[in-house]
Structure 1
Amino acid sequence: MTNYYASQSPAPRGKLRRNTHNRWIAGVCSGLADFTGLSPNMMRLLFVLSCLLPGPQFIFYIVAWIAIPRA
């Protein structure tokens, strides 16, 4: 019996770029979603939920906006 999951290879990752076609503010969440393989809406939801926790989420977003190049 073969393992179905072992035969599948992970999807290849591209370069980390801000997506300018599927963006709401700057394309950071959409670019991260493309890079990780998640849907853009799921990445946005995770970001909004993370803002409920203490930490520098907005600073990370602004730094990512500046550091990640456009697609």
Structure 2
Amino acid sequence: METVYQSMRQQGLVRPAQGRVLGGVCAGLGRRFGIDPWPARLLFILILLLIPGSQILVYPILWIIMPAEPVTASKWATTTD
């Protein structure tokens, strides 16, 4: 499974740490193909509506297969007054 994660990371298919609605799959696909997250979500839904029954399978499979974006320390750094 690690080789799948590595190949997805090399191609830029990762679930972002920020901007997720559910699992970050559509946001990651949108980022990869240069589309904003909301139009990517709408396009994903429209495509899934064309293929009956695929909604139940495609999103969870992509959620499992797409690796999460590595979280860096700067994203979690907070400033104190």
Query: TM-score w.r.t. structure 2 length?
Result: 0.63
* Residue of structure 1 in register with 2:65 after alignment: 67
Superposition RMSD in Å? 1.8
Conserved 8 A contact 1:20-1:26: no
* Structure 1 gap segments, 5+ residues each: 1-13
Which structure has the highest helix share of the two?
A: 2
- Cα distance per residue 1:4-52 (max 9 Å; x no partner): xxxxxxxxxx621001201100000000011000111111111222233
Q: Tell me the matched-pair count.
A: 59
Distance 2:29 2:56 in 1: 15
* Structure 2 gap segments, 5+ residues each: 1-10, 70-81
Could you tell me the percent identity over the aligned residues? 38
Q: Which aligned segments of 4 or more residues in structure 1 are displaced greater than 6 angstroms? A: none
Conserved 8 A contact 1:50-1:57: no
